[in-house]
Structures are given as C-alpha cells and as structure tokens.
Structure 1
Amino acid sequence: MTEKLHIVGGGMAGSEAAWQAAELGVDVVLHEMRPGVGTFAHQTGLLGEMVCSNSFRSDDDVQNAVGLLHWEMRAADGLIMRTADKHRLPAGGALAVDRDPFAQSVTEALLAHPRISISHGEISELPAEGSWIIATGPLTSSALSAAIAKETGAEALAFFDAIAPIVYFDSIDMRRAWMQSRYDKGDTEEERTAYLNCPMDKAQYEAFIDALLAADKTEFKEGETAGYFDGCLPIEVMAERGRETLRFGPMKPVGLTNPHQPDVKPHAVVQLRRDNKLGTLYNIVGFQTKMKYGAQTSVFKTIPGLKDASFARLGGIHRNTFLNSPTLLDGQMRLRSRPNIRFAGQITGVEGYVESAAMGLLAGRLAAAELKGITLTTPPATTATGALVTHISGGAEAKTFQPMNINFGLFPPVEGLKGGRRNRKDRYKAYTDRAKSDWHGWLEALPEPA
C-alpha cells in the first residue's frame, strides 16, 4: 500500500499539489488551519481562496511568460487553471475570475476526490516522518514559521521586506551605461565588469532626489511597524536623511570611469548588478523602495540609460514569509536537512497565484512519483515551470534572493536568435515554442495513475 502524502496549506499551491498527487494514484491528506485559525487576509475557510486580486494576469501563451505558465498547467490537467477557466470573467487579454465561485469549486473538487481527505487544524511543527509538502504561503502561522526558522537557522521568516526593482538587460541603453566594477576589482574580466553603471551629473542627481522625495509611497497599516533587513533601507528613507546620503551610499561615484566620457567625473552613479546566471536580468543596487508602482517607473526612468527600461519586477514593501530556497532546497524541492519535506508555493520564493500553483503542481507530481518508487526529474529549464524551479533551487543568487514572478529573463536564450528590443516578439515566440515542445516531453515521462 502506498504511503499517504500530507500537504500543509489549502491555498493555490496546496490545492494543486493535492489534486496532482491524487490524480496520479496517491492518497492525500490536505491540512488546512482555516477556519479554526484565521489570518488577517482570508475571509472564508474555502480552499483556493484569492486574498488579493482576482486576476491570474495575462493569458497570452505566445508573448507572455505567465500565459505560457497557464498553458503548461492546462496541459498537465491543473485544477487551478481548469477552475479558473470555468469561472472566467471578461478582462481583455487577462484571465480574471469570479473569486467566490472559484474558491467554492476548488473546495468541492477536492472534497469530492476519492483519494483526498481534508484535515482542519494547525500544523505547528515540522514532521519528522512521512512524506510532506509545506505550502503555507506568505501567511504561514507563527508557530510553523518558528519551527521552520529553527530548522533552517533563519533568524526570522516574517518581516517587512523592501525589495529592489529588476530591469531587463536588453532594455538598458548601453550608449549611456557601461560595465565596470569599482576600482576594477576582480581576478577575471567577468568580475571586473560585474556591474552596470548609469552616470548622473549634479543637475540630474538633484532632480532625481526631488522626484524621489515627492513620489507617492506605500504607507504602513495601523499597528504595523517596519523591521527591515540590515543594509536594506528604502532609498526614500535614506534620501530623507539628507540630500547627499545616497551619493555617499549606493550612488557613490568613486572608483569608476565612464568610457563614453572618460574626462568627465560623474556626480553620482546608479549601479545595477546581474540578478541571474543568464545575465538577462539586472537589479538596481541599493534601490529598495516603498514607492508606488506608477511613481517608480516615472522616477527610475529619469536615470540616464534607463529611459526606455522594462522592468521584470518593481520594488515593493510588504510582510512576507519565504525561504532562501537556493541554499535550503534541493532540485526536487526537498528541504536538504529533512528530505521527507518538500516546500511549494510562495514560501519557496515565487510570487503570484499562478507561480504558486505551478510549484504546487510540480511538488505534487514529484512527491507522488517518489512514493511510487519512481525517479522523476524536474522539467527542463526551457519550460516556464522548469525555469521557476531552476531559479529557486540554485539559479538565483542566494545573497540577494527575493520573491520573483515568472518572466522570460529566467529562460535560457534560444540559440541563433539575436537579442534586442526590436526582435523581442520573435524571441518570445521562440521561447514559448521550445517550452511547449519540452513540456510535452516531460509530461510523457510521468508515472501512470494507479
């Protein structure tokens, strides 16, 4: 008799994981603490409840990475996508749903499945035995968060998190920017050119500070206080401490020579650092921010070299609970120190409903295969699901790891295709064509239901 799979958390990831494992012939116990133990965001005890937006974002599976993720989940008979399609609302090219009927249908589907049982109650410790998936999301209970922190050595998993924006490399104007590390530090050419630099003269810097101070910011809710990471203050907070603070902090111009104007010393320099191994994404160093999204795009596009920048992620500040997955999880999404436990969903460092459900889909299938004595590899990094799991299990830089949405910057480049903004449409289609082919190949390797 196959051992049961236990899943903690009945959100997008946990619900999808339960469905996938059960469909592959494994008995599942889905543990959900609601409604007995609530959260500040949830309104019901339903499974798959949408606590923020009712949108799964773009449904374009040719030119948009999240649309491709929709396609992959549909091809894998995903419960979340099937239910979303059933309760779809008019929303242009986006996939938006009627949230209450959606959650009701997810709950009914899981309750009706003969291999799934629901257990209401809080799991407060990491289980020592059995096969488990932790899919508790950013609102993990305090007790379980403490248990995870104790096991992983993290000082805390819940905090107000200020994150920096990430820019697509191919949208940066290299006629103004250049590659150089401060003082040309590094033993190799790659190390000596590890940073991308955008120079400012005094007038540009002063205008930037003015825009920064005047920008609309996200305010804390009543009773909330900010506990930032050390060295991770929002740039607005630094600017409020003095107009020169940033110029002597993350925007200091020392140790750099602009090859476009070698005789002109910049007054300030904005540095960007590669954010993934492919070199397709760059984060703006030290630019953690709580500016509202519209203000961010306006302010950051005043930086020379970023006038036409496209953002893979804007900065933000919010309470979050997530693992430093590149250091803690293996390629099978298992906790290295306790391989009987997998993690899935937003707690792994993916951002968004769709990404969370996709990691649940993958974790459920990996766990089911393992319980059946089958070794199942993770999907190729050329697929959207594979790109996400590759990112969280080692593709991202552990020191700067932050939650990430799916985007084409996580995909390996397609050989033979030239980059650049003008060729983006062809490049994205090439990504999706390759992903669909490789995803079908991966699905064919899955175990048959019992």
Structure 2
Amino acid sequence: MDKTLHIVGGGMAGSEAAWQAAQLGIDVVIHEMRPKVGTFAHQTGLLGEMVCSNSFRSDDSEQNAVGLLHWEMRAADGLIMAMADQHRLPAGGALAVDRDNFAQSVTDALTAHPNISVAFGEITDLPDDGHWIIATGPLTSSTLGQAIAAETGAEALAFFDAIAPIVYADSIDMSQAWMQSRYDKGETEEERTAYLNCPMDRDQYEAFIDALLAADKTEFHEGETAGYFDGCLPIEVMAERGRETLRHGPMKPVGLTNPHAPDVKPWAVVQLRRDNKLGTLFNIVGFQTKMKYGAQADVFKMIPGLENARFARLGGIHRNTFLNSPTLLTPDMRLRSKPHIRFAGQITGVEGYVESAAMGLLAGRMAAAQIMGQNLPVPPNTTAMGALITHITGGAEAKTFQPMNVNFGLFPPVEGLRGGRRGRKDRYKAYTDRAKIDWHGWLAPQAKAA
C-alpha cells in the first residue's frame, strides 16, 4: 500500500497535520482547491489563511484553556504557533497576528519542506483506499460535503458563522478615537496601546442600536435552519437579545479612559484591533455581522471616529458544516465506516483557529504513526488536546452535539481543590500544571522513537 499521506484542505488543521507528519518522515500531499475553486470568505490561495478574526485569543497558559493549548502546540513543535509567534502583533494578553504575512509564512514553510507537495484542485469524493485526512474546515465544498453526507448516512449538522469588517487605519478620526488596551493590560507600551477605541455617549449608543435592528440583513435560503455558534454571534443577533447586550459584551466601556475627555465616562466603546504589522488595517472587535454590504457602511459610520471610514473588507456570514463526531468518529479521529480516513479541524466540531490546528496536529501524528506501523494512543484527557478530542469523539452528547471551544469544563476535576469563584485561580493553575506534565509524558515516547 502507498505510504503517502493525503490531506484534503490547507487551512489551519490541514497545514498543521501536514507539518507534523512530514517532520516524522512521512511523504505528504496537501490537496487544496483554492485558488481554482474559491469560497465566500477566502481572499487568497495561501495555506493557513485566516478568514475571520486575526486573533488566536488568550496566550495565558496558566489561567486560560486556549493559552494552554498554545503551550501544548509549541511543545510539539507546531508550525501554526511558530508562525503566529513570528508574526505577532500587540494585542494585550491575546495572540494576534499579521494575517497576510502569517499565511505567507505557513505556505512558504510547507512548500519548502522536502516531504510535502501541494496539489491544487478539488477533491469531490471520499477515497476508497490509502491514508487520508479530511481537513476541509467550515467551508467544505458542496460536492465533497454531499459525498460525506452520503457516506455517513445523515445530513451534516450546520451553523452559521460570521466575519467582522476591516477598516483602513488612515480613515479613522484620531481626534475622537484613542489607543489603549483595556485596564492598560500589557508589559510594554505597545501592548498597553494595542487597541483603538471609539467612545459613544448614551444617545449615540441608542441610535446605533436602532440602526442595527432596522438594517437590511442577509436572508437565509429556504431550508437553512442552522443556528449560530455563540462565540461568533452577529452583532444584530446580540442586539435583538436586548438593547444592553452589546454594552455588556463587545462594546463594554470598562477599563478605558478617553484622553480627549478624561472626566467623561463613555456609555459604550467600540474597540478595533490591529490587523497587520504595518498598522494600516484594523478589524472591529466582536462586530461579526450579517448586514448587507450597503447597510454595513451606513451603520458603522455612525460610530464616533469612523464617520469617514474606508473598509478594506466588509463583514459577512457563511454556512459552516460539521460532523456529528461522537457518532461518526473513533477516538483516534477515524471515520468508522472508512477507517483509512481521518477527519481534523472545524469539520469535526471544534471551534476556533487554535482548536482546529490542534486537531490537525493530533491527526497528523496519528496518521504518521499508523503508516510507520506504530500505535499512538490518544493524549490523556487531562491535557487540552486530550480533553478536546475526548469531547468530540464520545464525551459529548451526540443528540445535542454543537461546535465547542476548548475550556476547563472539558477537563476532569483536580481532586482536593476548593470550589467557588475565589478558588478558580488555584483550580485553573492546577489544571494547567497537571496538563503540562501529562503532555510532556505523551510526547516523550514519540521523541525517543524519532
């Protein structure tokens, strides 16, 4: 049997899976349909392109589950984290990157690897033999999606995902806006001024909410009944839940002081985060939207400081398909009906760049071990990756399965720790300390084998 590993999809999961397997000596072919076949959200044919936010979220590996996931991927010599660190932008305690340079570096690293080749073209059917990883992400092509649905005997579950607009920095009125991270968080001046803030008084906020609710919005096609993932809700949906929802969510005014009017506390604040290293582009944080393009420009220009904003990209919404993984996948991510095929990334029911890449890391290592005739166990569920893979392949309730970010609720409790809010810091530190020991324990035998 051919020992080449074929990976369908060159996003976060596919790129990381290819890197991990190639580093273990396996020949890898990445099958990427872009740029020959485009998607709603992608702008380029680069591998590892970021289509929504440019943030990998918190980088705190002691108090945050996604930060722990960062740590585990770095410990496993992950490509995605290495390139993210190389192209990091100031973002307080978050890990944000220059998305264009990040994707270019991921592409360059993969195409330069002697064990990796890239085949540009669409895969439309599930293969009958060989070694395969399907990592097509939230925008799986309709033809391949139909083939997956036909094989699994059930319609793929789906939800709608939204992306936020990006603004040209030189079109922002800095006589109204200012640079400051919430609570001045950060060790350097650059980090403490990582966010651009646009204040609103009460009347401006109320008018903005009225405009959001009245704006023309994208209507779904008949039969599209999927819901939204709570971590990426359109701002109009949040506004529909109550007029104060946005003010206590992405527009909360806490931890910020307007230097143009230091004695006036804003009623709400819109934050923008740098989107590239040059600082020429900023994305509006938490402002995913399903408003039609014409309405977006009108509504967003109501934000003080953005009256003359020019948009490098407007927001939008797309359908996101994923498997009912607890039913369809084995604990090592294989399709039960076709065990020569593994799935990785968002199509498995994880949500977020980091979670997707992490599942790619595991799939790549597991596939490589299988090709080499070795048995690689699933990481213990005390680790971030182990907790995630355990959840999606059997820990979650199949009937209500929905996409999930990594969180400490997926981890088994640490015995002997007190509960309650006051004990949360100690509890999270205990989770991460235990995870790091167990992750090193899982990696050690592989390092010796290599």
Distance 1:327 1:300, change over 3 A: farther
Alpha-carbon distance in 1 for matches of 2:398, 2:377: 23
| 1:62–1:432 CA contact under 8 A, matched in 2 | yes
Q: Does residue 137 of the first structure (1) align with residue 83 of the second (2)?
A: no
1:2 shift after superposition? 7.0
1:222 shift after superposition? 3.9
Match of 1:374 in 2: 374
- SS of the residue corresponding to residue 342 of structure 1 reads strand
1:221 shift after superposition? 5.1
Percent sequence identity is: 73
Code of the aligned partner of 1:225: H
Q: Provide Cα deviations, 1:208-229, integer angstroms capped at 9, x if missing partner.
A: xxxxx99966988546436455
Q: Provide Cα deviations, 1:19-74, integer angstroms capped at 9, x if missing partner.
A: 00000111101100000000010000000000011100000000000000000000
Match of 2:153 in 1: 153
- SS of the residue corresponding to residue 423 of structure 2 reads helix
Matches within 5 A, 1:172-191: none
1:291 shift after superposition? 2.5
1:13 shift after superposition? 0.2
1:296 shift after superposition? 6.8
Match of 1:103 in 2: 103
Code of the aligned partner of 1:17: A
Alpha-carbon distance in 2 for matches of 1:79, 1:378: 20
Alpha-carbon distance in 1 for matches of 2:413, 2:50: 34
Q: Provide Cα deviations, 1:130-186, integer angstroms capped at 9, x if missing partner.
A: 010000001000000000000011234556489xxxxxxxxxxxxxxxxxxxxxxxx
Code of the aligned partner of 2:97: V
Code of the aligned partner of 1:132: W
Match of 1:184 in 2: none
Match of 1:249 in 2: none
- SS of the residue corresponding to residue 422 of structure 2 reads helix
- SS of the residue corresponding to residue 292 of structure 1 reads helix
- SS of the residue corresponding to residue 118 of structure 2 reads strand
- SS of the residue corresponding to residue 132 of structure 2 reads strand
Alpha-carbon distance in 1 for matches of 2:227, 2:99: 36
Could you say what the CA RMSD is over the residues aligned between the two structures, in angstroms?
A: 3.2
Report how many residues are paired: 335
- SS of the residue corresponding to residue 19 of structure 1 reads helix
Alpha-carbon distance in 2 for matches of 1:403, 1:27: 31
Match of 1:363 in 2: 363
| 2:55–2:95 CA contact under 8 A, matched in 1 | yes
- In the superposition, the TM-score normalised over structure 1's length comes to 0.69
Match of 1:292 in 2: 238
Code of the aligned partner of 1:349: G
1:292 shift after superposition? 1.8
Match of 1:19 in 2: 19
Alpha-carbon distance in 1 for matches of 2:211, 2:437: 45
Matches within 5 A, 1:78-117: 78-117=78-117
| 2:136–2:347 CA contact under 8 A, matched in 1 | yes
Distance 1:298 1:384, change over 3 A: farther
Q: Provide Cα deviations, 1:56-100, integer angstroms capped at 9, x if missing partner.
A: 000000000000000000000000000000000011000000010
Q: Provide Cα deviations, 1:364-398, integer angstroms capped at 9, x if missing partner.
A: 00000011111110100000000000000011111
Match of 1:309 in 2: none
Match of 2:435 in 1: 435
- In the superposition, the TM-score normalised over structure 2's length comes to 0.69
1:418 shift after superposition? 1.8
- SS of the residue corresponding to residue 291 of structure 1 reads helix
Alpha-carbon distance in 2 for matches of 1:296, 1:348: 32
Match of 1:30 in 2: 30
Stretches of structure 2 that go unaligned for 5 or more consecutive residues are: 163-208, 249-288, 290-316
